Amino acid sequence: MHELSLIESMLSIIREEKAKHGMDRILRVRVVNGALSGAVSDALAFGWECLTQEGDLQGVALEITDAPLKVVCGACGKPFEPEDKHYMPCPACGEILGHTVTSGKELYIEEIEADIPEDGEPATGV
């Protein structure tokens, strides 16, 4: 529902990194979106399209990698990948409560592909 504001935060991070690394033109941005992040990948893609129609990041490609949900059982410690986000019986002991999420909560920018001139001096101390 608030994917547009998430994209706005992403754009400001990207602009910071662009300046920091002396990037000329950004070609592609890769984002990792976990199954439990609350952000819907399709809505992120749509928000990105809307907010990069013009301006300095016009036409930059957004690539979204969906990170699967992985948990460790709260009772027996078995790691497993639940099929359902809300009801997660452990395949080994059947416990449904108290699991620790090891993957799936994340939403982060993993990498940026850009033209960086040879003399593009990375700024320091940012």
Partner 1 sequence: MGKTVTIVRNVMEANERRAGKLKDYFAEKGILCLNLMSSPGAGKTSLLERTLADLKGEFKMAVIEGDLQTDNDARRVAATGAQAVQVNTEGGCHLDSSMIEDAIAVLDMDGMDILFIENVGNLVCPAEFNLGEDHKVSLLSVTEGDDKPEKYPLMFHLSSVMLLNKTDLLPYVDFSLEAASAHAKKLNKDIEIFPVACRTGEGLAAWYDWLRSARAAKKQA
Of residues 21 and 78, the one with the C-beta less far from partner 1: 21
* 95 touches partner 1 by CB under 8 A: no
Q: What does the alpha-carbon distance between residue 45 and residue 61 come to, in Å, rounded to a whole number?
A: 10
* 72 touches partner 1 by CB under 8 A: no
> Encoding tokens for residue 115?
């033209």
Q: What does the alpha-carbon distance between residue 45 and residue 70 come to, in Å, rounded to a whole number?
A: 24
Among 108, 118, 121, residue whose Cα is nearest residue 14: 108
Q: Are 39 and 33 in contact (CB under 8 A)?
A: yes
* 100 touches partner 1 by CB under 8 A: no
* 57 touches partner 1 by CB under 8 A: no
* 13 touches partner 1 by CB under 8 A: yes
Binding site for partner 1 (CB under 8 A): 1-2, 5-6, 9-10, 12-13, 17, 21, 23, 25, 27-28, 31, 36, 38, 85-87, 96-98, 106-116
